[in-house]
């Protein structure tokens, strides 16, 4: 071929080959081998298909081109890749090698380098394909999410960062009665009126970063509120809200999920009402059973009858317990349980629980051990009764399911990290370990579920509702802790639970110091001294605190708790009397100044109403030091006093003096004690009258002088009558009346300072109680004689005022 | 030539995995990266096959034509199919439309090569639950067609059924 022509073609990267009908190369252009698959094989005489393997399979076509049936054949975009060079693309065209306008049996193969074009095409196609694939995936993804959102039964709303509603799903449309179109653009607050209250919390929780997905918000707990529908209906809903944070601003905002609570609320209400009604309906007769059983128990019964009545009473109490458990459980479930946040003494609380169950443990011959680390906080804030409830439940179970061995309670504490506004800086862990029957491993998870026990044979053998542990779990969780256990069959179980709390040991004394300008306030030293916490054990006493000032109530109660006592409280004399009529107490801590009925009056009433053998010891809490130091000069009925401010050690002293075993009353020996107290020889103790005067003086509405005179007059009028009655009663062998009269005489005489007369009357009373009938006449005579002296002395004193 | 050369084409929509199947079969490799094929790339692989009739072991050279996926810019040139003994039509199980186009690709191939053999590869089987794969295999079998060899669910990524499909096609071409 013409070399010029060849050169031109070559410059345009076009090469050629001429082959015969047997595919052998006849002629070739100089640079054709650069476009061949293997350059060495392109030689005249060789099969072209070696260098151009893409020609394999074109045989049939080639024949047609030779015969003229087909003009040409093209293969475009064949890629050549060789390891060391960049790929090249070629177009191949096969045509008849026409010579002199006549077809021949030779084929012309033209090969063109089309790399540039193909590379361009590649980018174009690549871009388009990728975009399509991406679009496809996105569409599918969006469809999927849309489906999920649409089919949600809960209402879903999406808002912009500023709170404008963007989307709502179908359930939301139905619930809120709005079309999507109507509501888009409106603020979320037209649906959720109080949303601002929660904004801050949502923001606060906003920034937990996850490694893969960027920051996410955990949904805040479901909050119960009301939503407003288009027609103005208020529907109770539970809503949760989450912040959506992506990089694209258009895709940010908040997601709200609303759940219609109407049915749930109605059900809850119905349940509460039902429970309240049921509890009342059941409690009333049960209380009657218990009450009447108690009354019956105190009547004349044979031993056998007594046992039967006790059974009735115990069953009644057990039933009441079950009802209370059920109510507790239901209250906790519906979130209605209220917890106290009061300071209390931790160890006392534990010891109370222990002492309640000690008898049962003793009965079974089980050892009860209590151990704690020495730096356990003394005073913590929380709900003492709920904590005690858990302990009692666990201890009761431990004892119930243990035949031999021991039950050990151990307590440890540790500081915990405080986050934000939290105040609970301490975690306390309790462990109740028993050597009982244990629990099989596969039953452990059922244990804390309501109404389930390990198995039904347990219910039959040991009784119980199966609520106890469920309640313990709820209570401990509500107190910021958790509950769990270890157990081994036939070896025993250890139940653990924790609570979180705030330690306030030092804080309490600071509180007291702040109010120390008031004279009536008790202050305590800077240290709460180390007090023996087993005092209550050694000297068991039922204590009534009669005091109206709240701070003092708290302080004294705490002092008592430190010693291990749990005192009852009355706010004034009237309440004290009411309390005494309900229970018997060993000791009364009586404040002097109280509204409605003051301490002195109350004391008088108590002396009148109850015999010395059953009467509580009265310890006066007085703000003044008018009372002398010796106890012999105390007004009759007052056994001791504490001058405010007093230290806890003084309280300890006073209480331990008056520990009393309830069954004992003062025997004959006490009589001599009373006698020896009568040091004062004067008939009338002037200070007693002064005391009356002083007490009256405190009361602004009363003229002290007149009051005193009146008091003396009353006494002088009443006493002769009493003496007469005493005589009559004695004659009639009416010893109960006689005792009462002697008692009254004694107390009234003491009030007016006629201590000798008071003592004689008291002795008389003692004799009656001790059934010393022979000594009575003589004693009565002494009393009468002494009265005459008293009468004279009082009249004298009376003149002075 | 000492060995017999057989041309087979891989046909299918763009992005279904034709290039990856060949790469797995010939180079024993796989890459996640997507690079659109333009034009055609021809790979060679020698295989052994047994001629059941003549009880002879044959050495074959497969010329595997990796043809660009069909796209909106232009249709596939029929010239590529010229002289092919067999074809593997490839579809992507995660893209139903690519599966729907299998039948069309098959027709176009058979038009140029009425005597040709075709196997169907339902590729990217690793992305779908096994329970669906059976369903698809059944759906995309053309057993009433004499050219039909088999339908396999393949995964160029894991290698599942890749060798099998080439082998079954090769076997049918003897």
Length of chain A: 801
* Dist. CA A607–CA A625, nearest whole Å: 23
Chain B residue closest to A80 (CA)? Answer: B41
Q: What is the pLDDT of residues A567-624, one digit of tens each?
A: 899 988 888 888 888 888 888 888 876 777 877 778 888 888 887 777 888 888 765 4
Q: Which residue of B lies nearest to A90 if distances are taken between CA atoms?
A: B39
End-to-end CA distance of chain B: 17
pLDDT at A371: 86
| 8 A C-beta contact, residue A607 and residue A627 | no
- For A122, name the nearest residue in chain B, comparing CA atoms only: B38
* CA pair distance A410, A429, nearest whole angstrom: 8
Interchain proximity A75–B14, CB inside 8 Å? no
Number of domains chain B is built from: 1
Question: How far away is chain B from the Cα of A15, in angstroms, using its nearest Cα?
Answer: 19
Please report the ipTM that was assigned to this predicted complex: 0.89
- Greatest mean pLDDT among A189-203, A376-390, A680-694 lies in A376-390
Q: How far is CA A440 from CA A63, A315, A436, A456, in A?
A: 90, 31, 12, 14
Tell me whether residues B73 and A125 touch, CB distance under 8 A.
yes
Mean pLDDT of B64-68: 93
Q: Quote the CA–CA distance of A671 and A745 in Å, as a whole number.
A: 17
* Complete DSSP assignment for A649-675: HHHHHHHHHT---TT----HHHHHHHH
The whole-number pLDDT of residue A459 equals: 59
Which chain A residues contact residue B73 at CB under 8 A?
124-125, 128
Q: Is the pLDDT of residue B155 over 80?
A: yes
pLDDT at B1 over 50: no
Asked if A61's CB is within 8 angstroms of B34's CB, the reply is no
Percent of chain A's residues with pLDDT above 70: 81
Asked if A78 lies within 8 A of B42 by C-beta distance, the reply is: yes
Distance CA B32, CA B35 (A): 9
What is residue A424's predicted lDDT score, i.e. its pLDDT? 78
| A234-244 sheet: strands from edge to edge | A165-168, A155-159, A253-260, A234-244, A223-228
- Asked if B68's CB is within 8 angstroms of A77's CB, the reply is yes
Q: Give the pLDDT mean for A18-34.
A: 89
Chain A residues close to B7, C-beta within 8 Å: 56-57
Measured in angstroms, the CA of A336 and the nearest CA of chain B are apart by 49
Do residues A682 and A758 lie in contact, with contact meaning Cβ atoms separated by under 8 Å? no
A245–chain B nearest CA distance, Å:
30
Which residues have a Cβ under 8 Å from the Cβ of A227 and sit 6 or more positions away? A175, A176, A191, A192, A234, A235, A237, A239, A258
CA distance A746 to A752: 10
Chain A contact for B64 (CB, 8 A cutoff): no
> How many Cα atoms within 13 Å fall on the side-chain side of residue A608?
12
B62 SS3 class:
strand
Contact between residue A98 and residue A126 where contact means Cβ atoms under 8 Å apart:
no
Can you give the CATH number for the domain in which B142 is found? 3.40.50.300
DSSP 3-state assignment of A484?
Answer: strand
B81: pLDDT strictly greater than 90: yes
Q: Is A230 helix (H, G, I), strand (E, B) or coil?
A: coil
Q: Kindly state the DSSP code that residue A640 receives in the 8-state scheme.
A: E
The DSSP 8-state label assigned to residue A177 in this structure reads: T
Number of other CB atoms surrounding residue A682 within 10 Å? 11
- Give the integer Cα–Cα distance in Å for A785 and A724: 13
Task: Tell me whether residues B5 and A136 touch, CB distance under 8 A.
Answer: no
Q: Is the model's pLDDT at B80 over the cut of 90? A: yes
Look at residue B138 in the predicted model and tell me its pLDDT.
84
d(CA B85, CA B172) in angstroms, rounded, equals 10
Tokens coding A576:
């004290």
Dihedral sign (CA A562, A563, A568, A570) = negative
Residue numbers in A near B41 (CB within 8 A): 78-79, 81
Cβ contacts (< 8 Å) between B5 and chain A: which residues? 53, 56
CB count, 10 Å around CB of A665?
Answer: 16
By mean pLDDT, which of A143-147, A165-169, A252-256, A699-703 is the weakest?
A699-703
How many beta-carbon pairs below 8 A join chains A and B?
Answer: 77
Closest-CA residue of A relative to B83 is A57
Structure tokens at A71: 């003009």
CB–CB of A472/A499 below 8 Å?
no
Decide if B40 touches A, using CB distance below 8 A: yes
Q: Is A126 on the interface with B (CB under 8 A)?
A: yes
d(CA B16, CA B154): 11
Q: Residue A126, SS3?
A: helix
Of the candidates A60, A75, A125, which has its C-beta nearest B36's C-beta?
A125
Report residue A769's pLDDT band, with 50, 70 and 90 as the boundaries.
Answer: low
Nearest chain B residue to A126, by CA: B36
What per-residue confidence (pLDDT) applies to A518? 40
Provide the pLDDT for residue A213: 52
pLDDT of res. A658: 64
Closest residue of B to A87, CA-based? B41
Tens digit of each residue's pLDDT (9 = 90 or more) over A81-127: 876 678 899 999 999 888 888 888 889 999 999 999 999 999 999 99
Q: What is the rounded CA–CA span in Å between residue A266 and residue A274?
A: 12
CA of A6 vs chain B CAs: smallest distance (Å): 27
User: Is B139's Cβ below 8 Å from some Cβ in A?
Assistant: no
Nearest CB to A125: which of B42, B71, B77? Answer: B71
**B28 has a pLDDT exceeding 90:** yes
Confidence of residue B52 (pLDDT cuts 50, 70, 90): low
Flag whether residue B7 sits within 8 Å of chain A, measured between CB atoms: yes
Identify the closest residue of chain A to B81 by CA–CA distance: A57
A642 membership: H or E segment, kind and range: strand A638-643
Q: Where are the alpha helices (DSSP H) in A678-774?
A: 686-698, 704-731, 735-751, 755-769
Sheet holding B40-51, edge to edge: A25-28, A14-19, A107-113, A88-96, A72-80, B40-51, B56-67, B4-12, B86-92, B117-123, B148-153
Least confident interval from A112-116, A347-351, A667-671, B65-69: A667-671
Least confident stretch, A171-185, A520-534, B134-148:
A520-534
Helix, strand, or coil (residue B117):
strand
With an 8 Å Cβ cutoff, is B12 touching chain A? no
What's the DSSP call for residue A148? H
A480-523 pLDDT per residue, tens:
899 999 998 888 999 999 999 888 753 334 344 444 334 333 43
A61 vs B contacts (CB less than 8 Å): 82-83
3 state SS of A520: coil
pLDDT at A799: 81
Contacts of A121 in chain B (CB under 8 A): 38
User: Could you tell me the two tokens for A454?
Assistant: 């390990």
- Return the percentage of chain A with pLDDT > 90, whole number: 11
Kindly state whether B171 is in contact with chain A, defined as any CB-CB distance less than 8 angstroms.
no
Residue from A59, A125, A132 whose CB has the most chain B CBs within 10 Å, to mutate: A125
What is the distance between the alpha carbons of residues A759 and A742, in angstroms, rounded to a whole number? Answer: 10
Would you say residue A661 has pLDDT above 50?
Answer: no
Q: What is the mean pLDDT of residues A710-716?
A: 84
What is the model's pLDDT at position B84? 93
Closest to B36 (Cβ–Cβ): which among A57, A73, A129?
A129
Average the pLDDT over B103-115 and give the result: 91
B83 touches chain A (CB under 8 A): yes
Per the CB < 8 A criterion, the answer to whether A708 and A801 are in contact is yes
d(CA A793, CA A757) in angstroms, rounded, equals: 12
* Mean pLDDT confidence for B81-89: 93
Whether the pLDDT of residue A309 is over 70: the answer is yes
Q: Per-residue pLDDT averaged across A401-405, rounded?
A: 90
CA-only gyration radius of chain A, Å: 50
Report pLDDT for B93: 92
CA distance A552 to A518: 11
CA distance A203 to A187: 18
Q: What's the mean per-residue pLDDT of chain A? A: 79
Domain residues for the domain of B149 are 3-173
Residue of chain A with shortest Cα separation from B95: A136
CA distance readout (Å), A446 to A332, A439, A441:
19, 11, 10
Query: In terms of Cα–Cα distance, which of A468, A450, A479 is closest to A340?
Result: A479
Q: Higher-confidence residue: A786 or B58?
A: A786
User: Residue B38: closest CA among chain A residues belongs to which residue?
Assistant: A122
Distance from CA of B142 to the nearest CA of A (A): 26
* Chain A residues with beta carbon closer than 8 angstroms to that of B82: 57-58, 60-61, 73
φ/ψ of residue B170, rounded to 5: -55, -45
CB A515 within 8 A of CB A554: no
- List beta partners, residue A188: none
Nearest in space to A712 (alpha carbons), one of A682, A737, A686: A686
Chain B CB within 8 Å of residue A529 CB: no
Neighboring chain B residues of A144 at a CB cutoff of 8 Å: none
pLDDT at A524: 39
Point out the least confidently predicted range of A182-186, A648-652, A658-662, A663-667: A663-667
| Continuous H helices in chain B | 18-22, 96-100, 102-112, 130-139, 162-172
Closest Cβ opposite residue A56 in set B5, B34, B79: B5
A90 membership: H or E segment, kind and range: strand A88-96
Q: Where are the beta strands (DSSP E) in A383-491?
A: 406-415, 426-434, 483-488
Q: Which residue of B has its CA nearest to A92?
A: B79
The mean per-residue pLDDT over the stretch A534-557 comes to 79
* Alpha helices (H) along A334-402: 346-364, 384-400
pLDDT at A285: 85
Beta bridge partners of B91: B122
Q: How far apart are CA A384 and CA A344, in angstroms?
A: 7
Take residue B27 and report the two structure tokens written for it.
Answer: 């180079």
Restricting to B residues 87-106, those with a Cβ less than 8 Å away from any Cβ of A are: 95
Taking the Cβ of residue B63 and every Cβ of chain A, the question of whether any pair is shorter than 8 Å is answered with: yes
Q: Write out the two tokens for A736.
A: 């109960």
Average pLDDT over residues A430-452: 83
Asked if A56 and B69 come within 8 Å (Cβ–Cβ), the reply is no
A56 touches chain B (CB under 8 A): yes
């Amino acid at each position: 071929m013409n070399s010029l022509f060849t050169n031109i073609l070559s410059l345009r990267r076009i090469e050629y080959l001429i082959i015969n009908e047997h595919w052998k190369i006849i002629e070739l252009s100089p640079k054709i081998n650069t476009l061949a698959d293997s350059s060495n094989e392109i030689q005249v005489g060789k099969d072209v298909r070696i260098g151009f393997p893409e020609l394999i399979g074109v045989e049939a076509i080639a024949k047609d081109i030779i015969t003229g049936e087909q003009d040409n054949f093209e293969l475009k975009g064949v890629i050549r890749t060789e390891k060391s060079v960049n790929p090249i693309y070629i177009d191949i065209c096969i045509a008849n090698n026409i010579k002199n306008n006549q077809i021949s049996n030779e084929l012309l193969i033209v090969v063109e380098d089309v790399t540039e074009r193909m590379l361009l095409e590649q980018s174009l196609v690549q871009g388009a394909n990728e975009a399509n694939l991406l679009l496809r995936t996105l569409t599918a993804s969006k469809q999927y999410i849309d489906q999920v959102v649409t089919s949600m039964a809960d209402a879903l709303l999406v808002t912009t960062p500023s709170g404008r509603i963007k989307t709502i799903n179908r359930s939301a449309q139905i619930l809120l009665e709005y079309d999507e179109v109507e509501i888009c653009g409106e603020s979320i607050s037209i649906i959720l009126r109080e949303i601002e209250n929660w904004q801050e919390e949502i923001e606060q929780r906003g920034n937990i970063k996850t490694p893969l997905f960027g920051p996410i918000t955990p949904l805040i707990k479901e909050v119960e509120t009301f939503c407003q529908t288009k027609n103005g209906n208020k529907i109770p809903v539970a809503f949760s809200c989450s912040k959506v944070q992506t990089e694209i601003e258009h895709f940010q905002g908040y997601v709200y999920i609303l759940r219609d609570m109407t049915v749930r609320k109605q059900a809850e209400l119905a349940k509460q009402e039902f429970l309240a009604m049921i509890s009342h309906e059941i409690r009333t007769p049960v209380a009657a059973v218990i009450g009447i059983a108690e009354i019956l128990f105190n009547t004349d019964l044979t031993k056998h009858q007594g046992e039967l009545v006790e059974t009735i009473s115990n069953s009644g109490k057990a039933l009441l317990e079950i009802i209370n458990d059920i109510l507790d459980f239901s209250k906790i479930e519906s979130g209605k349980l209220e917890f106290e946040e009061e300071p209390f003494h931790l160890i006392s609380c534990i010891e109370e629980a222990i002492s309640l169950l000690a008898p049962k443990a003793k009965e079974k011959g089980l050892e009860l051990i209590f151990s704690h680390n020495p730096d356990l906080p003394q005073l913590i804030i929380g709900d003492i009764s709920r904590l005690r409830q858990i302990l009692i439940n666990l201890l009761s179970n431990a004892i119930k399911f243990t035949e031999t061995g021991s039950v050990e309670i151990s307590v440890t504490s540790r500081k915990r990290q405080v986050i934000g506004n939290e105040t609970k800086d301490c975690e306390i862990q309790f462990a109740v370990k028993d050597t009982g029957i244990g629990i099989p491993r596969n039953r452990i998870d059922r244990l804390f579920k309501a109404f389930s026990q390990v198995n039904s044979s347990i219910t039959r053998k040991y009784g119980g509702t199966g609520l106890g542990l469920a309640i313990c779990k709820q209570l401990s969780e509500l107190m910021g802790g958790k509950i769990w256990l270890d157990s081994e069959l036939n070896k025993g179980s250890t139940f653990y639970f924790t609570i979180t709390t705030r330690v306030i040991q030092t804080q309490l004394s600071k509180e007291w110091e702040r109010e120390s300008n008031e004279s009536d306030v008790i202050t305590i030293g800077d240290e709460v001294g180390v007090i023996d916490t087993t005092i209550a054990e050694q000297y068991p006493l039922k204590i009534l605190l009669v005091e109206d000032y709240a701070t003092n109530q708290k302080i004294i109660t705490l002092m008592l708790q430190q010693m291990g006592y749990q005192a009852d409280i009355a706010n004034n004399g009237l309440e004290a009397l009411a309390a005494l009529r309900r229970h018997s107490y060993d000791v009364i801590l009586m404040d002097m100044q109280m509204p409605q009925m003051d301490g002195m009056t109350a004391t008088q009433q108590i002396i009148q109403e109850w015999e010395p053998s059953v009467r509580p010891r009265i310890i006066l809490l007085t703000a003044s030091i008018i009372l002398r130091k010796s106890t012999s000069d105390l007004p009759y009925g007052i056994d001791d006093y504490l001058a405010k401010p007093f230290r806890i050690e003084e309280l300890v002293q006073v209480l331990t003096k008056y520990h009393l075993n309830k069954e004992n009353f003062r025997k004959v020996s006490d009589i001599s004690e009373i006698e020896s107290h009568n040091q004062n020889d004067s008939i009338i103790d002037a200070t007693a009258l002064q005391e009356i005067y002083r007490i009256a003086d405190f009361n602004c509405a009363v003229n002290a002088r007149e009051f005193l005179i009146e008091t003396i007059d009353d006494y002088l009028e009443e006493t002769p009558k009493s003496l007469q009655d005493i005589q009559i009663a004695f004659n009639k062998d009416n010893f109960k009346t006689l005792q009462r009269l002697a008692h009254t005489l004694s107390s009234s005489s003491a009030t007016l300072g006629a201590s000798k007369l008071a003592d004689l009357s008291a002795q008389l009373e003692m004799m009656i109680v001790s059934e010393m009938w022979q000594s009575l006449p003589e004693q009565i005579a002494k009393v009468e004689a002494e009265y005459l002296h008293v009468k004279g002395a009082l009249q004298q004193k009376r003149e002075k005022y | 030539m000492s060995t017999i050369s057989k041309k087979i084409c891989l046909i299918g929509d763009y992005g279904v995995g034709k290039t990856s199947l060949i790469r797995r079969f010939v180079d024993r490799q796989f890459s996640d990266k997507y690079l659109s094929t333009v034009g055609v790339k021809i790979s060679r692989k020698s295989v052994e096959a047994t001629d059941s009739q003549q009880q002879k072991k044959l050495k074959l050279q497969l010329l595997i034509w990796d043809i660009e996926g069909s796209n909106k810019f232009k249709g596939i040139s029929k010239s590529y199919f010229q002289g092919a003994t067999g074809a593997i039509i490839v579809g992507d199980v995660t893209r139903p439309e690519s599966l729907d186009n299998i039948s069309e690709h098959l027709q176009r191939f058979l038009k140029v090569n009425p005597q040709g053999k075709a196997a169907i590869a339902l590729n990217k089987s690793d992305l779908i639950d096994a329970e669906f794969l059976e369903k698809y295999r059944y759906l995309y079998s053309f057993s009433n067609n004499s050219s039909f060899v088999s339908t396999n669910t393949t995964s160029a990524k894991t290698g599942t059924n890749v060798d099998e499909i080439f082998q079954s096609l090769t076997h049918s071409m003897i």
